[in-house]
Structure 1
């Protein structure tokens, strides 16, 4: 069986960044395995098993030792991925690769998808290893479409943190996933963020939240696909459906 290794900084990244792709790979018969570096800001790892079951991820475990790194809300404290020695993160990724022998690695793209420094640290660690890897990116036009949706319900408010930019370069697409299952996986972390109407979410989520912006991007452009850049020289990605 072909194995795909998914590497992320935080719980919920597997929904926002690679949720469609893992569903499609699982449907195609791949063994999809997740390694996550931190428990998130609110010990969100409690919800990982539910999310993984919905997104076709067969099992998850920690990247490195449990509690080796923490998420402190992008303040870049001493125990974060951002502050860690790059070699230590790379070694943890290499250990997972050596154990699992994946044919493909999925992670975030070179911009961290949202610009989060922990995300970027993970992408850079993967890039240091000679392997077939795809990094999730957003198109700039899709970010603008999501911003426009939020602005309709929150005129004059800042939308997102300002770090979610997207790109204008060609991206590979893996598509054909279930919108319903991805929405449910997002709900596993944040009550209603996947399923409630955007107009209602504006009353409970700050317009400046990147999570709300990504939800709006999915609404504007579709939940069923993810787009990727090549992080290393590799053959073509699995075909879209």
Structure 2
């Protein structure tokens, strides 16, 4: 059985960045496993287990030692991935690769998908390994479409953090996933963020939230696919629907 290793900084990244791809690969017979570096802002292991079950991820564990790194909500702690010695993060990814022997590694793209420093640190570490890797990216046109949806509901409000920009380069697509399951996986973390109408969410979530922006991007362009850049030179992408 082919193994795909998914590597992320925080719980919920597996939904926003790679949720469609893991579902598709699992349906195609891949053994999909997740390694996550931090427990996120609120200690989300129960939510993570529910999300993995919905997204076709067979099991998850910590990248590195438990509590080795933390998500400090942007307060610049010395224990974040962004502040860590790069060789420590690379060593943790290499250890997971050596143990699992994956045919493919999925993570976020070189821009961290949302520009989050922890995401970028994970992407940079994955780029150092000797294994084929794909990094999730957004198209700039899709980000603009999501921004327009939010602006229509919250005119005059600043949309997103300003760090979600997308790109204009060709990307590989893995598509054909269940929209319902990805919505449910997002709900496992945030009540209604996957399932409630965007017009309702705008009353309870800040327009400047990147989570809300990503939800709007999915609404504007589809929940069933993820797009990737090649992080390491290798052969063609796995088949997609």
Same fold (TM over 0.5): yes
Match of 1:90 in 2: 90
Aligned residue for 2:182? 182
In structure 2, C-alpha distance between the alignment counterparts of 1:231 and 1:96, rounded to whole Å: 17
In 2, Cα distance between the equivalents of 1:77 and 1:121? 14
* Superposition deviation, residue 75 in structure 1: 2.6
1:136-157 Cα deviation digits (max 9, x unpaired)? 0000000000000000100000
**Distance of 1:85 and 1:183 partners within structure 2:** 35
Q: Give 1:129 shift.
A: 1.1
How far apart in 2 are the matches of 1:166 and 1:225? 15
Q: How far apart, in 1, do the equivalents of 2:61 and 2:162 lie? A: 31
Q: What's the counterpart of residue 115 of structure 1?
A: 115
Runs of 4+ in 1 over 6 A off after TM superposition: none
Which residue of the partner structure matches residue 60 of structure 1? 60
Aligned to 1:33: 33
1:155-234 to 2 correspondences below 5 Å: 155-234=155-234
Shift of 1:74: 2.4
Distance in 2, matches of 1:240 and 1:180, equals 18
Aligned to 1:105: 105
Matched-pair contact (CA < 8 Å) for 1:74–1:118: no
Give TM-score scaled by structure 2 length: 0.99
Structure 1 residue runs without a partner (length 5+): none
Residue 19 in structure 1 maps to residue 4 in structure 2: no
Q: Please give the alpha-carbon distance, in whole angstroms, between the structure 1 residues aligned to 2:71 and 2:235.
A: 34
Equivalent-residue separation in structure 1 for 2:184 and 2:9 (angstroms): 21
1:131 counterpart = 2:131: yes
Q: 2 CA distance for matches of 1:10 and 1:197? A: 25
What is the root-mean-square deviation in Å for CA atoms of aligned residues?
Answer: 0.5
Match of 1:78 in 2: 78
Shift of 1:179: 0.1
**1:19-42 CA distance string (max 9 Å, x none):** 000000000000000000000011
Equivalent residue pairs, number: 241
State whether structure 2 residue 208 is matched by structure 1 residue 236: no
Distance 1:165 1:44 in 2: 27
Q: Which residues of structure 2 form unaligned runs of 5+?
A: none
